[in-house]
Amino acid sequence: MSDVVRRSARAILLDGEELVLIKRTKPGREPYWVTVGGGVEADDDTIEAALHREVFEELGGTVDRAELVYLITDQLNGGIGVQYIFAPRLVAMDLTARTGTEFSKPERGAPTRSSGSRSLAMPSVN
> pLDDT tens across 80-97, in order?
999 999 999 999 988 877
Domain boundaries, the chain: 4-123
pLDDT above 90 as % of the chain: 45
| pTM given for the model | 0.78
* CATH of span 4-123: 3.90.79.10
DSSP string, 8-70: EEEE-EEETTEEEEEEEE-TTS--EEEEEEEEPPTT-SSHHHHHHHHHHHHHSEEESPPEEEE
